[in-house]
Copies of this chain bind each other. A is one copy, B any other.
Amino acid sequence: MPEVQGGENLLFLTDEQLRQGIEAMFFAYRGFTADPDRILSGMAYGRAHHRAVHFIARAPGTTVNNLLNILGVTKQSLNRVLRTLVDDGLVDSRVGKSDKRERNLYLTDEGMELERKLSDAQRARMRAAYRAAGPEAVSGFRQVLEAMMDTEMRRQYYKIRDAKS
């Protein structure tokens, strides 16, 4: 059998395989966001609020600028979301201690309650998927996702992850 693929089995790199991966990402992401979206619909919040709340919960005291980098939106867009959360008493925005231009963001008790509700739903789905697929699959899943990120996003991802160890 001729080694047309450089001596390795690269069948997983055929266009058809790649297209299937693309479609899997598309359909899976729908599932990924479905449960939080369901919870948020009916409240005055949307996916953007979920993202803000998630990363504030994850890195309490984070600055607006930092959140901007993580979320990759404009400050005007984030500000609109943040303002409603602050006004509604879910997020506390405190003037920075060392640098008073900065605002450090924290969830209030009410904010934490919403975060937990959203997170519980999303983690439940992730847990079910992980459990169904098994530890080895999970490892592969994470490897491919990390390789798919833009360099700057991967940096952000590691930064958050490593702060938790």
Q: Residues of A at under 8 Å CB distance from B?
A: 9, 11-13, 15-32, 34, 51, 54, 58, 72, 119, 122-123, 125-150, 153-154, 156-157, 160-161, 164
Contact (Cβ within 8 A) A154 B18: no
Contact (Cβ within 8 A) B31 A148: yes
Contact (Cβ within 8 A) A126 B9: no
Q: Name the distance in Å between A73's Cβ and chain B's nearest Cβ.
A: 11
Question: Once bound together, how far apart are the Cα atoms of A131 and B18, in whole Å?
Answer: 11
Q: Identify the closest chain B residue to A128 (Cβ).
A: B147
Contact (Cβ within 8 A) B18 A156: no
Chain B residues near A58: list those with CB within 8 A. 19, 23
Chain B residues near A148: list those with CB within 8 A. 28, 31-32, 125-126, 129
Q: Identify the closest chain B residue to A8 (Cβ).
A: B135
Q: Name the distance in Å between A88's Cβ and chain B's nearest Cβ.
A: 23
Chain B residues near A19: list those with CB within 8 A. 58, 119, 123, 164
Question: Once bound together, how far apart are the Cα atoms of A26 and B32, in whole Å?
Answer: 9
